[in-house]
Amino acid sequence: MRALIIVDVQNDFCDGGALPVSGAVDVADGITRYLHGAATRDRYAHVVATKDWHIDPGDHFSAHPDYVTSWPPHCRAGTAGADLHPALSTDRIDEVFTKGQYDAGYSGFDGVDGDGTALADWLHRHEVDRVDVVGVATDYCVRHTAEDAIRAGFATAVLAQLTAGVGAESSAAAVAAMRRAGVVVVEAAG
């Protein structure tokens, strides 16, 4: 079975948020259209989402961030900034996995659902063997989620058209790294 993993399409990563990623709102809109399109409506047995959910992430937050390993405060647990963006339709989402409570938490596979079940365990329990990954940001959380999906034994694709990255160079490097790790990067979703 195939699942779609929607990575961190949250208010703080969109226009007007604490750490906006250029194109993130377009990604939210695109994922919604993709999920409700006739060609893909039945493609996924399950759809899950991840959320940055920072409680006390240590040096991941900084008053003087380097925008590589430290960042301005964002996606604080329980705030509107941590909510999924309203342009992302949530009616197909079966479960949400929160990550980064006490660390950076770049990978969705670091996340747990409300019962404490890890993403990999949830997917295996639901007999998923293939995942497609979309969301924000290509060069950080999408990359780490896709690479961890490979490590967890899932056939993995990233639908590049439904991702947005922090920087052009770092996104290109992330795509190359994902391909080296065995991730199939599909340029056009559909």
The model's pTM = 0.96
- Torsion over CA: 173, 119, 149, 129 (sign): negative
The per-residue DSSP string of 145-178 comes to: HHHHHHHTT-EEEEEEEEEE-S-HHHHHHHHHHH
Q: What is the pLDDT, as a whole number, of residue 99?
A: 97
Catalytic residue (one of 75, 99, 110, 132): 99
Continuous segment of H or E residues that includes residue 184: strand 184-186
Exposure of 152 by Cβ count < 10 A (0-12 exposed, 13-18 middle, 19+ buried)?
middle
Which range of residues forms the domain containing residue 165?
2-186
Give the whole-angstrom CA distance, residue 178 versus residue 139: 10
Verify whether residue 8 is a known catalytic residue: yes
Give the whole-angstrom CA distance, residue 137 versus residue 125: 27
Q: Total domain count for the chain?
A: 1
Question: pLDDT tens for residues 13-72?
Answer: 999 999 999 999 999 999 999 999 988 888 999 999 999 999 988 888 999 998 888 889
C-alpha of 175 from chain center = 15
Catalytic residue (one of 8, 12, 110, 139): 8
Verify whether residue 51 is a known catalytic residue: no
Question: pLDDT tens for residues 106-162?
Answer: 999 999 999 999 999 999 999 999 999 999 999 999 999 999 999 999 999 999 999
Q: Which residues pair with 165 in a beta bridge?
A: none
92 and 106 Cβ atoms separated by less than 8 Å: no
Q: What is the pLDDT, as a whole number, of residue 181?
A: 98
Catalytic residue (one of 75, 110, 139, 141): 141
CATH number of the domain to which 31 belongs:
3.40.50.850
Phi, then psi, of 75 in degrees rounded to 5: 45, 50
Strands of the sheet with 155-164, listed across from one edge:
95-99, 46-52, 2-7, 130-136, 155-164, 184-186
Q: What is the pLDDT, as a whole number, of residue 110?
A: 97
Write down the residue that tokens 């590589």 correspond to: 68
The distance between the two most distant Cα atoms of the chain, rounded to a whole number of Å, is 46
